[in-house]
C-alpha cells in the first residue's frame, strides 16, 4: 500500500515506511526540544564587583547590587570593575570563612555551579575579569569577599513557577545608585584620631548595612598628601578604616601586595 503526497499530479508517492521514519524524526526533535526547553528559558543576569573614584582613592567594597532575585537554573555573571582586589565566594551554611589565599580549598576560574552543598570561590580578581555562577536549585545564598569581611550580598533563587520582582534594567540602576552612594560619602566631617602633634590618618570609611548584606565605603589614601616635619621628629599614622588594612611603606613599593610583615588594622 502506498500513500499519495500532497501533489498527486506529480506522480510522486511516500511509502508507509518512509512516512514512519519522518514521524520518528519529528518525534525525536520534539522530545529534544522538551529536554532543552528549561535551558533555553534560563536567564543570564549581570552584576558588578566594586566601585571606585577616578583617582582610585575611594573604593566601594561591594557587590552591586548586593541583593538579587533569580530563578533556579539561571546564572549571574559578575564583572570586576575596580583595581582593588576582591574574591567572589559562596560559602555553605555555617562554614567558617577560609583564608583568601587557601580558597575552599582551591579556586574556580571563569565559571562554577553552586547549589549550597559545597563552597566555591575565585582567586583574587583583577579589573575586567568576569565570573559566572549557575544556580540549579532554589534557596537563599550568601555571597562574600574573602579579603574584605564586610563585603557581602545575597542571591535569592526562586522556583521557576514563582514570579521575579525585578528585571535586569532594575539591577543595573541599583548597581549604579549603590556605587555612587558609596563613593559620594563625605569623610571630611569625621573626627581624626591623632594621638600626637604629628599625626596622619591612613584611610577611613564606614560600613553600610542593607537588607542583602553589607557594603563598605573605604578611603584608600593618606589624608595629607604632603607632610613636613623637622629631622628627628616622630610621625604617627592611624588607620581610621573600619575594614581595610593598610601599610605605611617608604621607598619602592613591594611586588607582593600582601606581605608577611605586620599591617595596620
CATH assignment at residue 161? 2.60.40.420
Does pLDDT of 37 surpass 50?
A: no
User: 11 with 55, same domain?
Assistant: no
User: 27 with 13, same domain?
Assistant: yes
Q: Is residue 9 part of a domain?
A: yes
Cell 613591594 belongs to residue: 254
Does pLDDT of 110 surpass 80?
A: yes
pLDDT of residue 232: 81
User: 53 with 176, same domain?
Assistant: yes
User: 72 with 118, same domain?
Assistant: yes
pLDDT of residue 188: 52
Q: Is residue 109 part of a domain?
A: yes
User: 165 with 117, same domain?
Assistant: yes
* 144, 164, 180 - which closes a domain: 180
pLDDT of residue 257: 56
How far is Cα 132 from Cα 43, in angstroms, rounded to an integer?
Answer: 12
* 110, 145, 180 - which closes a domain: 180
Give the residue numbers spanning the domain of 22: 2-41
pLDDT (mean) for 227-238: 77
* 137, 154, 180 - which closes a domain: 180
User: 131 with 10, same domain?
Assistant: no
**Mean pLDDT rounded to a whole number for the chain:** 81
CB 217, CB 185: distance < 8 Å: yes
| Number of independent structural domains in the chain | 2
Burial label for 132, CB within 10 Å (0-12, 13-18, 19+), is middle
Give how far Cα 13 sits from Cα of 17, 19, 25, Å.
Answer: 12, 10, 19
Amino acid at each position: 500500500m502506498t500513500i499519495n503526497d500532497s501533489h498527486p499530479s506529480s506522480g510522486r508517492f511516500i511509502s508507509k515506511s518512509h512516512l514512519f521514519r519522518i514521524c520518528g524524526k519529528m518525534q525525536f526533535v520534539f522530545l529534544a526540544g522538551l529536554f532543552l526547553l528549561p535551558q533555553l528559558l534560563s536567564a543570564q543576569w549581570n552584576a558588578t564587583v566594586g566601585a571606585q573614584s577616578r583617582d582610585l582613592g575611594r573604593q566601594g567594597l561591594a557587590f552591586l547590587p548586593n541583593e538579587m532575585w533569580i530563578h533556579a537554573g539561571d546564572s549571574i555573571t559578575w564583572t570586576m570593575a575596580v583595581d582593588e582586589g576582591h574574591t567572589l565566594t559562596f560559602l555553605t551554611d555555617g562554614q567558617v570563612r577560609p583564608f583568601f589565599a587557601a580558597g575552599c580549598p582551591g579556586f574556580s576560574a571563569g565559571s562554577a555551579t553552586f547549589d549550597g552543598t559545597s563552597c566555591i570561590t575565585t582567586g583574587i580578581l583583577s579589573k575586567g575579569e568576569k565570573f559566572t555562577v549557575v544556580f540549579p536549585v532554589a534557596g537563599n545564598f550568601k555571597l562574600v569577599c574573602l579579603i574584605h569581611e564586610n563585603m557581602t550580598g545575597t542571591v535569592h533563587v526562586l522556583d521557576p513557577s514563582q514570579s521575579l520582582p525585578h528585571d535586569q534594567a532594575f539591577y543595573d540602576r541599583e548597581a549604579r545608585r549603590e556605587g555612587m552612594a558609596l563613593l559620594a560619602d563625605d569623610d571630611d566631617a569625621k573626627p581624626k584620631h591623632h594621638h600626637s602633634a604629628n599625626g596622619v590618618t591612613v584611610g577611613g570609611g564606614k560600613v553600610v548595612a542593607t537588607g542583602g548584606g553589607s557594603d563598605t565605603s573605604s578611603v584608600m589614601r593618606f589624608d595629607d598628601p604632603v607632610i613636613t616635619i623637622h629631622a628627628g621628629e616622630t610621625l604617627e599614622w592611624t588607620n581610621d578604616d573600619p575594614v581595610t588594612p593598610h601599610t605605611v611603606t617608604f621607598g619602592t613599593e613591594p611586588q607582593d601586595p600582601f606581605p608577611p610583615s605586620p599591617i595596620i588594622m
